[in-house]
Chain A
Amino acid sequence: MEHDINKIREVISRSPADPSSLITVLQDIQREFHYLPCEALKETAKALYVPLSKVFSASTFYNAFSLTPRGENIIRVCQGTACHIRGADQLLEQLEIGLKIKAGQTTPDMKYTIEIVNCVGACAMAPVMIVNNKYHANVRCDRAMRLVKRG
Protein backbone atom coordinates (compact mmCIF):
# COMPACT_ATOMS: atom_id res chain seq x y z
CA MET A 1 0.00 0.00 0.00
CA GLU A 2 1.42 3.36 -1.07
CA HIS A 3 1.22 6.36 1.23
CA ASP A 4 1.74 10.04 0.59
CA ILE A 5 5.22 10.81 1.90
CA ASN A 6 4.26 14.42 2.63
CA LYS A 7 1.36 13.31 4.79
CA ILE A 8 3.69 10.96 6.64
CA ARG A 9 6.18 13.78 7.25
CA GLU A 10 3.41 16.09 8.41
CA VAL A 11 2.19 13.58 10.97
CA ILE A 12 5.73 13.03 12.26
CA SER A 13 6.36 16.76 12.51
CA ARG A 14 3.53 17.19 15.05
CA SER A 15 5.96 16.09 17.78
CA PRO A 16 9.40 17.42 18.74
CA ALA A 17 12.13 15.87 16.58
CA ASP A 18 13.90 13.81 19.22
CA PRO A 19 13.97 10.19 20.39
CA SER A 20 11.59 10.72 23.33
CA SER A 21 8.76 11.43 20.86
CA LEU A 22 8.91 7.93 19.38
CA ILE A 23 5.85 6.37 21.03
CA THR A 24 3.74 9.50 20.45
CA VAL A 25 4.73 9.64 16.77
CA LEU A 26 3.91 5.95 16.30
CA GLN A 27 0.50 6.54 17.86
CA ASP A 28 -0.16 9.50 15.57
CA ILE A 29 0.82 7.40 12.55
CA GLN A 30 -1.36 4.51 13.75
CA ARG A 31 -4.31 6.86 14.18
CA GLU A 32 -3.81 8.48 10.77
CA PHE A 33 -3.23 5.39 8.64
CA HIS A 34 -4.88 2.74 10.88
CA TYR A 35 -1.58 0.86 10.95
CA LEU A 36 2.16 1.54 10.75
CA PRO A 37 3.27 1.57 7.12
CA CYS A 38 6.86 0.53 6.49
CA GLU A 39 7.77 3.86 4.83
CA ALA A 40 6.38 5.77 7.78
CA LEU A 41 8.64 3.87 10.15
CA LYS A 42 11.67 4.58 7.98
CA GLU A 43 10.80 8.29 7.88
CA THR A 44 10.30 8.26 11.64
CA ALA A 45 13.76 6.81 12.20
CA LYS A 46 15.28 9.58 10.11
CA ALA A 47 13.25 12.41 11.60
CA LEU A 48 13.72 11.48 15.25
CA TYR A 49 17.37 10.38 15.03
CA VAL A 50 16.48 6.89 16.23
CA PRO A 51 18.00 3.75 14.64
CA LEU A 52 15.48 1.93 12.46
CA SER A 53 15.94 -1.22 14.54
CA LYS A 54 14.72 0.62 17.64
CA VAL A 55 11.72 2.03 15.78
CA PHE A 56 10.89 -1.48 14.65
CA SER A 57 11.33 -2.86 18.18
CA ALA A 58 8.92 -0.29 19.59
CA SER A 59 6.41 -1.00 16.80
CA THR A 60 6.36 -4.69 17.67
CA PHE A 61 6.53 -4.33 21.45
CA TYR A 62 3.36 -2.35 22.14
CA ASN A 63 -0.18 -3.75 21.75
CA ALA A 64 -1.55 -0.57 20.18
CA PHE A 65 0.42 -0.88 16.98
CA SER A 66 -0.27 -2.95 13.92
CA LEU A 67 2.21 -3.51 11.12
CA THR A 68 -0.48 -4.72 8.76
CA PRO A 69 -3.43 -2.71 7.47
CA ARG A 70 -6.57 -3.09 9.55
CA GLY A 71 -10.20 -3.01 8.63
CA GLU A 72 -12.55 -0.03 8.42
CA ASN A 73 -14.28 -1.18 11.59
CA ILE A 74 -12.22 -2.14 14.60
CA ILE A 75 -13.93 -4.38 17.13
CA ARG A 76 -12.13 -4.62 20.45
CA VAL A 77 -13.21 -7.30 22.91
CA CYS A 78 -12.08 -6.68 26.47
CA GLN A 79 -10.26 -9.56 28.13
CA GLY A 80 -10.14 -8.12 31.66
CA THR A 81 -10.85 -10.32 34.68
CA ALA A 82 -14.43 -9.16 35.17
CA CYS A 83 -15.17 -9.54 31.46
CA HIS A 84 -13.53 -12.96 31.45
CA ILE A 85 -15.73 -14.35 34.19
CA ARG A 86 -18.81 -12.70 32.71
CA GLY A 87 -18.47 -14.36 29.30
CA ALA A 88 -15.84 -12.54 27.22
CA ASP A 89 -14.74 -15.87 25.72
CA GLN A 90 -18.21 -16.69 24.41
CA LEU A 91 -18.56 -13.16 23.10
CA LEU A 92 -15.28 -13.39 21.19
CA GLU A 93 -16.20 -16.79 19.82
CA GLN A 94 -19.51 -15.53 18.40
CA LEU A 95 -17.66 -12.71 16.65
CA GLU A 96 -15.02 -15.05 15.26
CA ILE A 97 -17.71 -17.33 13.86
CA GLY A 98 -19.86 -14.48 12.58
CA LEU A 99 -17.01 -12.74 10.76
CA LYS A 100 -15.10 -15.93 9.92
CA ILE A 101 -11.79 -14.58 11.24
CA LYS A 102 -9.82 -15.05 14.44
CA ALA A 103 -8.85 -12.33 16.93
CA GLY A 104 -6.01 -10.24 15.48
CA GLN A 105 -7.19 -10.79 11.91
CA THR A 106 -9.04 -8.67 9.36
CA THR A 107 -11.83 -9.82 7.01
CA PRO A 108 -10.69 -10.22 3.37
CA ASP A 109 -12.94 -7.32 2.30
CA MET A 110 -11.07 -5.13 4.85
CA LYS A 111 -14.33 -4.23 6.57
CA TYR A 112 -13.76 -5.68 10.04
CA THR A 113 -10.84 -6.36 12.37
CA ILE A 114 -11.24 -8.18 15.67
CA GLU A 115 -8.79 -7.28 18.40
CA ILE A 116 -8.51 -8.32 21.99
CA VAL A 117 -7.57 -5.71 24.54
CA ASN A 118 -6.46 -6.19 28.12
CA CYS A 119 -8.96 -4.27 30.21
CA VAL A 120 -10.50 -0.99 29.12
CA GLY A 121 -11.58 0.00 32.62
CA ALA A 122 -15.36 -0.39 32.28
CA CYS A 123 -15.34 -3.49 34.46
CA ALA A 124 -18.59 -2.77 36.24
CA MET A 125 -20.43 -3.34 32.95
CA ALA A 126 -18.65 -6.51 31.88
CA PRO A 127 -18.47 -7.99 29.32
CA VAL A 128 -17.47 -4.98 27.23
CA MET A 129 -17.00 -4.64 23.50
CA ILE A 130 -15.86 -1.49 21.71
CA VAL A 131 -16.79 -0.96 18.07
CA ASN A 132 -14.98 2.00 16.52
CA ASN A 133 -14.57 3.75 19.87
CA LYS A 134 -18.23 3.22 20.81
CA TYR A 135 -18.56 1.25 24.00
CA HIS A 136 -21.10 -1.56 24.36
CA ALA A 137 -21.79 -2.79 27.87
CA ASN A 138 -23.18 -6.02 29.31
CA VAL A 139 -22.95 -7.61 25.88
CA ARG A 140 -24.66 -10.98 25.73
CA CYS A 141 -22.79 -13.19 23.32
CA ASP A 142 -25.71 -13.75 20.96
CA ARG A 143 -26.16 -10.00 20.49
CA ALA A 144 -22.57 -9.26 19.54
CA MET A 145 -22.87 -9.61 15.77
CA ARG A 146 -26.01 -7.47 15.71
CA LEU A 147 -24.19 -4.66 17.51
CA VAL A 148 -21.26 -4.94 15.12
CA LYS A 149 -23.41 -4.79 12.00
CA ARG A 150 -25.26 -1.83 13.44
CA GLY A 151 -21.95 -0.01 13.71
Chain B
Amino acid sequence: MIDIQLNGKMVKAEEGEMLLSIIRREGIDIPALCDHEAIEPCGACRLCMVEITRKEWEGWKKHVTSCLYPAEDGLIVNTHTEQVMEIRRTILDLYLARCPNSKVIQKLAEEHGVVKTSFEKIPDADNCIMCYACTRICEVLGRSAISAVYRGHDKVIAPPFGEEPPDCIGCLSCAMICPTDVIPWQDENGVRTIWKKKFDMIACEKCGKEIITRDFADYLISSRNIPEDYFKICDDCKRIDLANKMGSIILQAEEAAL
Protein backbone atom coordinates (compact mmCIF):
# COMPACT_ATOMS: atom_id res chain seq x y z
CA MET B 1 0.00 0.00 0.00
CA ILE B 2 1.20 3.52 -0.77
CA ASP B 3 0.10 7.03 0.17
CA ILE B 4 -0.97 9.66 -2.29
CA GLN B 5 -2.51 13.06 -1.78
CA LEU B 6 -5.86 13.51 -3.53
CA ASN B 7 -7.42 16.98 -3.55
CA GLY B 8 -5.56 17.78 -0.37
CA LYS B 9 -6.51 14.59 1.46
CA MET B 10 -4.11 11.70 2.12
CA VAL B 11 -5.47 8.42 0.76
CA LYS B 12 -4.15 4.89 0.55
CA ALA B 13 -3.80 2.99 -2.72
CA GLU B 14 -2.16 -0.09 -4.22
CA GLU B 15 1.10 0.67 -5.99
CA GLY B 16 0.43 0.74 -9.72
CA GLU B 17 -3.34 1.16 -9.30
CA MET B 18 -4.74 3.57 -11.90
CA LEU B 19 -5.61 6.98 -10.49
CA LEU B 20 -9.15 6.86 -11.85
CA SER B 21 -10.10 3.88 -9.71
CA ILE B 22 -8.70 5.61 -6.61
CA ILE B 23 -10.55 8.82 -7.47
CA ARG B 24 -13.83 6.94 -7.88
CA ARG B 25 -13.31 4.98 -4.71
CA GLU B 26 -13.01 8.27 -2.84
CA GLY B 27 -16.39 9.30 -4.23
CA ILE B 28 -15.06 12.03 -6.51
CA ASP B 29 -16.96 12.34 -9.74
CA ILE B 30 -14.97 13.02 -12.91
CA PRO B 31 -16.13 12.23 -16.44
CA ALA B 32 -14.51 9.36 -18.34
CA LEU B 33 -16.46 8.62 -21.53
CA CYS B 34 -14.16 5.98 -22.99
CA ASP B 35 -13.71 4.09 -19.74
CA HIS B 36 -15.55 0.83 -19.02
CA GLU B 37 -14.84 -1.94 -16.55
CA ALA B 38 -14.98 -4.65 -19.22
CA ILE B 39 -12.14 -3.20 -21.31
CA GLU B 40 -8.61 -1.88 -20.87
CA PRO B 41 -8.37 1.94 -20.70
CA CYS B 42 -7.15 3.73 -23.82
CA GLY B 43 -7.08 7.43 -22.98
CA ALA B 44 -9.03 8.61 -26.04
CA CYS B 45 -11.59 11.06 -24.62
CA ARG B 46 -9.09 12.85 -22.31
CA LEU B 47 -11.93 13.95 -20.01
CA CYS B 48 -10.51 12.12 -17.00
CA MET B 49 -7.36 14.29 -17.07
CA VAL B 50 -6.07 15.42 -13.71
CA GLU B 51 -3.18 17.51 -12.51
CA ILE B 52 -0.27 15.72 -10.85
CA THR B 53 2.83 16.92 -9.10
CA ARG B 54 5.37 15.79 -6.53
CA LYS B 55 7.09 17.65 -3.73
CA GLU B 56 10.45 17.30 -5.44
CA TRP B 57 9.11 18.85 -8.67
CA GLU B 58 9.13 22.24 -6.91
CA GLY B 59 5.87 23.47 -8.31
CA TRP B 60 6.19 21.95 -11.80
CA LYS B 61 2.96 20.21 -12.77
CA LYS B 62 1.85 17.69 -15.34
CA HIS B 63 -1.55 16.72 -16.69
CA VAL B 64 -2.30 13.05 -17.26
CA THR B 65 -5.30 10.85 -18.03
CA SER B 66 -6.17 9.25 -14.70
CA CYS B 67 -7.43 6.08 -16.41
CA LEU B 68 -3.89 5.22 -17.52
CA TYR B 69 -1.63 6.75 -14.88
CA PRO B 70 -0.42 4.34 -12.20
CA ALA B 71 -0.25 5.62 -8.61
CA GLU B 72 3.20 6.08 -7.07
CA ASP B 73 4.08 6.83 -3.48
CA GLY B 74 4.17 10.57 -2.82
CA LEU B 75 2.05 11.58 -5.80
CA ILE B 76 -0.06 14.72 -5.37
CA VAL B 77 -3.26 14.71 -7.42
CA ASN B 78 -5.80 17.46 -8.05
CA THR B 79 -8.95 16.69 -9.98
CA HIS B 80 -10.71 20.05 -10.24
CA THR B 81 -8.16 22.81 -10.71
CA GLU B 82 -8.95 25.82 -12.90
CA GLN B 83 -6.75 24.43 -15.69
CA VAL B 84 -8.26 20.95 -15.51
CA MET B 85 -11.79 22.36 -15.66
CA GLU B 86 -10.83 24.52 -18.64
CA ILE B 87 -9.51 21.43 -20.45
CA ARG B 88 -12.71 19.50 -19.70
CA ARG B 89 -14.89 22.40 -20.85
CA THR B 90 -12.96 22.80 -24.11
CA ILE B 91 -13.02 19.07 -24.82
CA LEU B 92 -16.79 19.00 -24.24
CA ASP B 93 -17.10 22.09 -26.44
CA LEU B 94 -15.28 20.17 -29.19
CA TYR B 95 -17.51 17.14 -28.59
CA LEU B 96 -20.59 19.33 -29.00
CA ALA B 97 -19.32 20.42 -32.40
CA ARG B 98 -18.71 16.80 -33.34
CA CYS B 99 -21.90 15.26 -31.92
CA PRO B 100 -24.35 18.14 -31.58
CA ASN B 101 -27.39 15.87 -31.27
CA SER B 102 -26.09 13.50 -28.62
CA LYS B 103 -28.07 13.76 -25.40
CA VAL B 104 -25.20 12.23 -23.45
CA ILE B 105 -22.78 14.89 -24.65
CA GLN B 106 -25.29 17.69 -24.21
CA LYS B 107 -25.91 16.68 -20.60
CA LEU B 108 -22.25 16.28 -19.71
CA ALA B 109 -21.39 19.56 -21.41
CA GLU B 110 -24.14 21.41 -19.57
CA GLU B 111 -22.92 20.01 -16.26
CA HIS B 112 -19.63 21.72 -17.06
CA GLY B 113 -21.19 25.00 -18.06
CA VAL B 114 -21.03 24.49 -21.83
CA VAL B 115 -24.47 24.96 -23.31
CA LYS B 116 -23.62 25.32 -26.97
CA THR B 117 -20.49 24.82 -29.00
CA SER B 118 -18.28 27.77 -29.85
CA PHE B 119 -16.91 25.91 -32.87
CA GLU B 120 -18.13 25.03 -36.34
CA LYS B 121 -20.48 22.03 -36.28
CA ILE B 122 -19.26 19.05 -38.27
CA PRO B 123 -21.36 18.40 -41.39
CA ASP B 124 -23.33 15.10 -41.35
CA ALA B 125 -22.62 14.64 -37.65
CA ASP B 126 -23.73 11.45 -35.94
CA ASN B 127 -23.58 10.56 -32.27
CA CYS B 128 -20.46 8.44 -32.34
CA ILE B 129 -18.04 9.88 -29.81
CA MET B 130 -15.13 7.69 -30.99
CA CYS B 131 -14.56 6.13 -27.57
CA TYR B 132 -13.57 2.79 -29.22
CA ALA B 133 -15.52 0.84 -26.55
CA CYS B 134 -17.22 -1.17 -29.30
CA THR B 135 -14.02 -2.20 -31.07
CA ARG B 136 -12.28 -2.94 -27.80
CA ILE B 137 -15.06 -5.17 -26.46
CA CYS B 138 -15.21 -6.99 -29.78
CA GLU B 139 -11.50 -7.65 -29.49
CA VAL B 140 -11.82 -8.83 -25.88
CA LEU B 141 -14.48 -11.28 -27.01
CA GLY B 142 -11.99 -12.60 -29.55
CA ARG B 143 -13.75 -11.57 -32.75
CA SER B 144 -12.37 -8.17 -33.84
CA ALA B 145 -15.20 -7.95 -36.37
CA ILE B 146 -15.21 -4.15 -36.54
CA SER B 147 -12.43 -1.61 -36.23
CA ALA B 148 -11.57 2.06 -36.50
CA VAL B 149 -10.85 2.80 -40.15
CA TYR B 150 -9.22 5.70 -41.97
CA ARG B 151 -7.27 8.24 -40.03
CA GLY B 152 -7.58 11.57 -38.27
CA HIS B 153 -10.78 13.49 -38.75
CA ASP B 154 -12.10 10.92 -41.22
CA LYS B 155 -11.78 8.09 -38.70
CA VAL B 156 -14.96 6.05 -38.29
CA ILE B 157 -15.98 2.75 -36.76
CA ALA B 158 -16.90 0.37 -39.56
CA PRO B 159 -16.86 -3.24 -40.69
CA PRO B 160 -14.26 -4.20 -43.35
CA PHE B 161 -15.09 -2.65 -46.74
CA GLY B 162 -18.32 -1.34 -45.22
CA GLU B 163 -19.86 -4.73 -45.87
CA GLU B 164 -21.17 -7.50 -43.62
CA PRO B 165 -18.32 -8.23 -41.23
CA PRO B 166 -17.36 -11.88 -41.69
CA ASP B 167 -16.19 -12.20 -38.08
CA CYS B 168 -19.34 -10.75 -36.46
CA ILE B 169 -21.39 -13.26 -34.52
CA GLY B 170 -24.25 -10.96 -33.56
CA CYS B 171 -23.53 -10.89 -29.83
CA LEU B 172 -24.60 -7.22 -29.48
CA SER B 173 -21.69 -6.42 -27.13
CA CYS B 174 -20.77 -3.41 -29.24
CA ALA B 175 -24.29 -2.03 -29.23
CA MET B 176 -24.68 -2.64 -25.49
CA ILE B 177 -21.41 -1.01 -24.47
CA CYS B 178 -21.90 2.07 -26.67
CA PRO B 179 -22.44 5.03 -24.36
CA THR B 180 -24.42 6.98 -26.98
CA ASP B 181 -26.49 4.14 -28.50
CA VAL B 182 -25.14 4.70 -31.97
CA ILE B 183 -25.07 1.12 -33.22
CA PRO B 184 -28.47 0.09 -34.63
CA TRP B 185 -29.66 -3.49 -34.35
CA GLN B 186 -32.93 -5.33 -34.72
CA ASP B 187 -34.45 -8.63 -33.62
CA GLU B 188 -37.44 -9.59 -35.75
CA ASN B 189 -39.08 -12.87 -36.64
CA GLY B 190 -36.24 -15.00 -35.42
CA VAL B 191 -33.62 -12.97 -37.29
CA ARG B 192 -31.18 -10.46 -35.80
CA THR B 193 -29.72 -7.73 -37.97
CA ILE B 194 -26.63 -5.74 -37.01
CA TRP B 195 -23.93 -4.18 -39.23
CA LYS B 196 -26.14 -5.14 -42.20
CA LYS B 197 -25.58 -8.80 -41.38
CA LYS B 198 -28.46 -11.18 -40.67
CA PHE B 199 -28.26 -13.88 -38.02
CA ASP B 200 -30.60 -16.75 -37.30
CA MET B 201 -31.67 -16.83 -33.67
CA ILE B 202 -32.00 -19.93 -31.54
CA ALA B 203 -35.39 -20.12 -29.79
CA CYS B 204 -35.97 -21.75 -26.40
CA GLU B 205 -37.43 -25.21 -26.88
CA LYS B 206 -39.67 -24.70 -23.88
CA CYS B 207 -41.06 -21.18 -24.15
CA GLY B 208 -40.07 -20.15 -27.70
CA LYS B 209 -38.26 -16.99 -26.62
CA GLU B 210 -35.24 -16.07 -28.78
CA ILE B 211 -32.07 -16.60 -26.79
CA ILE B 212 -28.97 -16.05 -28.86
CA THR B 213 -27.74 -16.12 -32.45
CA ARG B 214 -26.66 -19.47 -33.81
CA ASP B 215 -23.22 -18.02 -34.64
CA PHE B 216 -22.68 -16.67 -31.13
CA ALA B 217 -23.79 -19.97 -29.60
CA ASP B 218 -21.44 -21.94 -31.85
CA TYR B 219 -18.59 -19.59 -30.98
CA LEU B 220 -19.12 -19.94 -27.24
CA ILE B 221 -19.49 -23.71 -27.48
CA SER B 222 -16.26 -24.08 -29.46
CA SER B 223 -14.12 -21.52 -27.66
CA ARG B 224 -15.39 -21.54 -24.10
CA ASN B 225 -16.00 -25.23 -23.50
CA ILE B 226 -19.71 -24.77 -23.10
CA PRO B 227 -21.84 -27.92 -23.61
CA GLU B 228 -23.55 -28.26 -26.98
CA ASP B 229 -27.09 -28.35 -25.57
CA TYR B 230 -26.63 -25.36 -23.25
CA PHE B 231 -28.53 -22.96 -25.49
CA LYS B 232 -31.55 -25.22 -26.13
CA ILE B 233 -33.35 -23.83 -23.10
CA CYS B 234 -33.42 -20.16 -22.13
CA ASP B 235 -32.15 -18.97 -18.73
CA ASP B 236 -35.66 -18.30 -17.42
CA CYS B 237 -36.85 -21.80 -18.29
CA LYS B 238 -33.65 -23.22 -16.83
CA ARG B 239 -34.40 -21.40 -13.59
CA ILE B 240 -37.96 -22.71 -13.53
CA ASP B 241 -36.67 -26.21 -14.20
CA LEU B 242 -34.11 -25.86 -11.46
CA ALA B 243 -36.68 -24.51 -9.01
CA ASN B 244 -39.01 -27.39 -9.81
CA LYS B 245 -36.17 -29.87 -9.40
CA MET B 246 -35.17 -28.29 -6.08
CA GLY B 247 -38.80 -28.38 -5.05
CA SER B 248 -39.20 -32.05 -5.84
CA ILE B 249 -35.91 -32.93 -4.09
CA ILE B 250 -37.08 -31.15 -0.95
CA LEU B 251 -40.45 -32.90 -1.19
CA GLN B 252 -38.73 -36.30 -1.55
CA ALA B 253 -36.44 -35.52 1.37
CA GLU B 254 -39.39 -34.52 3.54
CA GLU B 255 -41.29 -37.68 2.59
CA ALA B 256 -38.22 -39.77 3.32
CA ALA B 257 -37.88 -38.14 6.70
CA LEU B 258 -41.46 -38.93 7.67
Contact = CB atoms under 8 A, between A and B. Distances in A.
Interface of A: 38, 41, 51-57, 60-61
A60 B149 contact: yes
A52 B166 contact: yes
Contacts of B146: 53
Contacts of A52: 160, 165-167
Nearest to A55: B160
Interface residues of B, number: 16
Interface in B148-163: 148-151, 159-161
B145 interface: yes
Nearest to A53: B147
Nearest to B152: A61
Q: Is the interface of B mostly helix, strand, loop or mixed?
A: loop
Majority secondary structure, A binding face: helix
A53 B147 CA distance: 6
Nearest to A56: B160
Contacts, number: 36
Given A52-B167, A54-B144, 16 more contacts: A38-B161, A51-B143, A51-B144, A53-B145, A53-B147, A53-B159, A53-B160, A53-B165, A53-B167, A55-B160, A56-B149, A56-B161, A57-B147, A60-B150, A60-B151, A61-B151
Contacts of B143: 51
A55 B165 CA distance: 13
13 contacts: A38-B161, A51-B147, A51-B167, A52-B160, A52-B166, A52-B167, A53-B165, A53-B167, A54-B147, A56-B147, A56-B160, A57-B147, A57-B148
A38 B167 CA distance: 16
A61 B148 CA distance: 9
Most A-side CB within 10 Å, residue of B146, B149, B159: B149
A59 to B, nearest CB: 8
B87 to A, nearest CB: 27
The 10 closest A-B pairs by CB, nearest first: A51-B144, A53-B147, A56-B160, A57-B147, A60-B149, A52-B160, A60-B150, A61-B151, A53-B144, A53-B160
